[in-house]
Amino acid sequence: MSTGANSLLISPAARDALQTWLGHQRALKGAAENTITAYQGDVTDFLAFMTLHKGDSQGLGALAKLTISDMRSWMAKTRGPDVGPRSLSRKLSAVKAFYRWLAEREGFEATAVLSTRSPKFPKKLPRPLAIDAAKAMIDCVEMQSRHPWVAARDVAVLTLLWGCGLRISEALALKGADAPLPDVLRIVGKGGKERVVPVLPAAQDAVAAYLRACPFPQERGAPLFKAVRGGPLAARAISQVMADARMQLGLPATATPHAMRHSFATHLLDAGGDLRAIQELLGHASLSTTQAYTAVDTARLMEVYNSAHPKAAG
């Protein structure tokens, strides 16, 4: 049953509460429209299921009395060929967020909903490109555009991802004031965490070549990388460039901008780089995240631990 049809099963009070919550997410939390649409669909489907499951329209009072058994029934019904554990976990997260807000507003305990455990699913490990594939990717994007300055731009962005380990958002956040690129960049990453990243001569040269070719003036406070019409370059444009290139090269769908960052870490480690230093360069709060990025095995992790920990070294 579609979300539109499901919305007809929801009580007016529940429908109003959902719309108020979505407005709160949009205005106060700054949620993107895609996120709002997903939230609306997931919570609407949940509320409609409870109407059918209970055999009556669920007003706010009834919704406050859901049990763990009700939640298990919803999860069992929702899980299916088209909804795996990862998707179900996302839906449960949306329902919990709505219930957390609703319980606070209406003054009831939402323990049954909030204590429901997400299904377990294996985490997808990042897949870095081989060195030859990363080089081929950069060479390929250089040949794709009809505009030489756009080709130079795409090469510069990918070189920053692979050569400096930047996230695509971090590369596109660079301003005109950052050029010409210094030997060291101060990057503000996730959570406002700042890190220092060395800039390879190859990255400096690639950005310099882009700037020489770019037909638009560079302003200190404006984005360094420009779209075709001179506005800020969007991450999806680089994703599409890489999608076109990987089709030509026969690379898998995992060859994305983020895979270039994975490759930076893995290639450094393969060349003898220190895992802790790579953690700092990537801006990871946890070493386990860096371990996943580089696909480092436990033996290598223990080697780093034994050489770095004061007790082990002593």
Q: Hey, which residues are catalytic here?
A: 167, 190, 258, 261, 284, 293
Alpha carbon separation from 293 to 69, 126, 242 (Å, rounded): 39, 6, 20
Helix (H, G, I), strand (E, B) or coil at 18: helix
| Whether the Cβ atoms of residue 152 and residue 168 lie closer than 8 Å to each other | no
| Whether the Cβ atoms of residue 144 and residue 151 lie closer than 8 Å to each other | yes
**Does residue 180 have a cis bond before it (omega within 30 degrees)?**
yes
| Whether the Cβ atoms of residue 171 and residue 225 lie closer than 8 Å to each other | yes
Alpha carbon separation from 89 to 7, 28, 168, 227 (Å, rounded): 22, 24, 26, 36
Query: Tokens for 167?
Result: 């996230």
Bridge partners (DSSP) of residue 195 are 187
| Whether the Cβ atoms of residue 161 and residue 261 lie closer than 8 Å to each other | yes
Alpha carbon separation from 290 to 159, 269, 274 (Å, rounded): 20, 10, 11
232 phi and psi, to 5 degrees? Answer: -65, 140
64 phi and psi, to 5 degrees? Answer: -75, -10
Separation of alpha carbons 235 and 143, rounded Å: 19
| Whether the Cβ atoms of residue 213 and residue 152 lie closer than 8 Å to each other | yes
Nearest to 161 by CA among 139, 141, 138: 138
